Structure 1
Amino acid sequence: MALSKLLRSPGTRLLTVGSLFVEAKRAFERGNRARAAGLAVLAVLSWKFALIGLGAQGILKLVRSAGGGRTPADG
């Protein structure tokens, strides 16, 4: 019960949507427009369905770890 209340809270939704939009912005700035568009769609969907957003964040963490966590500053 407590978990479902947490998932439905406005704060959780806002955090999920915000972090997905930040990731979409990063992808767009790096030239990956398809990923940016997909993340933006997920952000909109996650406002209605918080579980979708949380799942998307988990997938993003997996993708980042598989990529070695490289950033533009790494060279």
Structure 2
Amino acid sequence: MVLRKLLGSRATRAFTVGSVLLEAKRAVEGGNRFRAAALLVVAVFAWKWTVLGVAAQGVVKLLRAGR
């Protein structure tokens, strides 16, 4: 119940969307436009489903660590 309230709060959603947008900006600066476009789509959906944004950030971190 508490986790659902935390993930559903407006502040958490805004932070998640902002963080995904920052990852998209990094992808554009790194020359990976496909990843940037995918992250922009995730940012739109992350406002409604916060867990999606958090999961996408985890995947990006894993992909970046693999380099």
TM-score (norm: length of structure 2): 0.92
CA shift digits 1:14-41 (9 cap, x unpaired): 1110011011011111211101000010
**Amino acid in the other structure paired with 1:63:** L
Q: Residues 1-75 of structure 1 correspond to what in structure 2 (within 5 A)? A: 1-67=1-67
Paired residues, what number?
Answer: 67
CA distance in 1, matches of 2:29, 2:51: 27
TM-score (norm: length of structure 1): 0.83
Q: Percent identity?
A: 55
Bigger radius of gyration among the two:
1
Q: Which runs of 5+ in 2 are unaligned?
A: none
CA distance in 2, matches of 1:57, 1:31: 18
Q: Which runs of 5+ in 1 are unaligned?
A: 68-75
